Amino acid sequence: MKLYFLFLIPITFFSTSVYAQNSDPAWYSPENRKGQLFFKVASEYRITPIYDLSKRDPTFYVPVNIEKQNSGLALNLDVHFFITKNLSLGFGNSFRYGYLLDTYDQIDGEFGFSPAKKTLITDHHIYLDYHIPVFKESELFVRAGKSMLNNGTNYSKKTTYYQDGNIIGHSFSEEDFFYFATNFGVGWKKKRIEFVGGIYTSRTTNYFNETATFIVPYFNLTYNLGKL
C-alpha cells in the first residue's frame, strides 16, 4: 500500500493546482471538450483470470501463481484527447505491486515456508472511447484498444542438462510474463466521474506451451482531474 501513497502526493498537488483553472463546470461539458486534453486518475480492480484449465500442461512449469499475478488493485494515470466531442483517444499507465515469482526452491529442509517475491509491475494502454449521450446528465461509452501487460516481470531461468544420470552442464536464460492484450470495455460517465467494466484478452501469454485464450476481467473507477 505504500506504493499508492507515493503516487497520491503528486496527484493531490496536481489536482489542487488545476482546481482553480477548472472551477467552472463547463470545461468538462460534451459541447466544450473537442480538442481538449484531460488528465485522469483511476483505481482499477482486476478479477481472477478466466482460462481453460485443460490448456495447462502439468509438465510445463510456470514459477508463479497465475491468478495472483494477474488480479488485484492497480493505480491508473491516463490522458485523454477528444478528437471530436464524442470520440477520445486515451493513453494510460497502470502500476501494481504484484507477484513476480514463487520461491519454493528457496525452502531448505523437508518442511518450511518462503514468501513469494513481489515487484512493481507496470502496464501501458492505448484505446479509443466513443461516447453516446443517451441520458440528460450522463452518457455511455464503449472502449477498444491494446495493452502491454506485466512489464517488469523479468527473471532468470536456469536449466540443467543430464547424460546417463550425470550433470553435463547448465544454461541460463532471461524470461518474463509480459504479453499483449486487447482491451474491451463499456463505461458510464457523469461529469468528472467514469465507471468502466471490461476485459483484457490475449492468446499469446507465457503461461501456456500452446495457444490459449486468457481473459482478465476488470472494473475501473476514474476521476477527471482537469485539463492540461
Give the domain CATH number at 151.
2.40.160.20
User: pLDDT tens for residues 175-201?
Assistant: 889 999 999 999 999 989 999 999 999
Band of residue 23 on the pLDDT scale cut at 50, 70, 90: low
Residue bearing the bigger pLDDT, 201 or 6: 201
Note whether 226 and 38 are within 8 A (CB).
Answer: yes
Residue 6 has a pLDDT of: 43
What rounded mean pLDDT belongs to the chain?
83
Residue by residue, DSSP assigns 55-114 as: G--TTS--SS-HHHHT-EEEEEEEEEEESSSSEEEEEEEEEEEEEEE--GGG--SSS---
What the block records as the C-alpha cell of 79 is 490522458
Band of residue 32 on the pLDDT scale cut at 50, 70, 90: confident
Record the pTM: 0.81
Residue bearing the bigger pLDDT, 55 or 64: 64
Residue 80 has a pLDDT of: 93
**Given a cut of 70, is residue 19 above it in pLDDT?**
no
The H-or-E segment that residue 157 falls in is: strand 155-163
Band of residue 62 on the pLDDT scale cut at 50, 70, 90: confident
What the block records as the C-alpha cell of 32 is 466544450
Overall domain count for the chain = 1
Average pLDDT over residues 79-92: 95
Domain enclosing residue 91, as ranges: 2-227
